[in-house]
């Protein structure tokens, strides 16, 4: 962006007599001045870009470059995904009712992402852990037992670390 700066010294012509040939403004003077005005105008904020190429200021919108305190509830959507493979680009929270044996897997690992899975394994299907899904030594055995479980996970960008509740009655 550039600010407009006067290019031609017009005020010096004001003191000249009307009959003085130096009081005449040439086309080149106008061209120089209007080019400077055009450059300044064309490089300034364009309101049609608001929210497109410029971020619109709105005190009610969350931003990623400032600390904020939320004064109302923030909720993520729940994605139903019954194949035991959870895409972290889809959401943070999942609901899963497997229909057969499977492997607890996370895709699109995102460092710092955490979330929850409501696992309804009422069929008691055998569930194993993918190489990048980490849990305690009993996790796979626990969630393979028929019942409903609340799994919580945290991802470091490579692995998803999972803990589970006891079975819900």
**Mean pLDDT per 10-residue interval, the chain, length 169 residues:** 74 82 81 84 71 64 79 88 96 97 97 97 98 98 98 98 94
Q: What is the pLDDT of residue 134?
A: 98
CA dist 116 and 56 (Å) reads 33
For residue 34, the SS3 value is helix
CA distance 121 to 149: 8
- What pairing do the DSSP bridges indicate for beta strands 133-134 and 127-129? unpaired
Separation of alpha carbons 146 and 140, rounded Å: 12
Q: Give the per-residue pLDDT at 1.
A: 58
d(CA 112, CA 121): 27
Tokens at 158, concatenated? 């490579």
- Region class of 21: left (phi > 0), else alpha (psi between -120 and 50), else beta: alpha
Separation between Cα atoms, residue 161 and residue 124, nearest integer Å: 22
Cα 67 to chain centroid, rounded: 15
CA dist., res. 94 & res. 160, Å (int)? 14
Look at the pTM and tell me if it is higher than 0.85.
Answer: no
CB atoms within 10 A of CB 59: 4
């Amino acid at each position: 962006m550039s600010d407009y700066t006067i290019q031609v010294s017009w005020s010096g012509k004001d003191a000249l007599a009307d009959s003085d040939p130096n009081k005449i403004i040439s086309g080149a003077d106008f061209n120089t001045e209007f080019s400077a005005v055009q450059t300044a105008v064309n490089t300034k904020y364009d309101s049609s870009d608001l929210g497109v190429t410029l971020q619109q200021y709105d005190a009610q919108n969350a931003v990623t470059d400032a600390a904020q305190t939320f004064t109302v509830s923030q909720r993520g959507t729940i994605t139903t995904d019954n194949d035991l493979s959870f895409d972290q680009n889809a959401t943070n929270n999942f609901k899963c009712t497997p229909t057969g044996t499977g492997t607890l897997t996370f895709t699109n690992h995102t460092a710092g992402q955490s979330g929850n899975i409501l696992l309804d394994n009422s069929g008691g299907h055998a569930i194993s852990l993918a190489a990048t899904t980490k849990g305690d030594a009993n996790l796979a055995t626990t969630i393979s037992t028929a019942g409903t479980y609340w799994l919580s996970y945290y991802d470091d960008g490579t692995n998803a670390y999972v803990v589970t509740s006891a079975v819900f009655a």
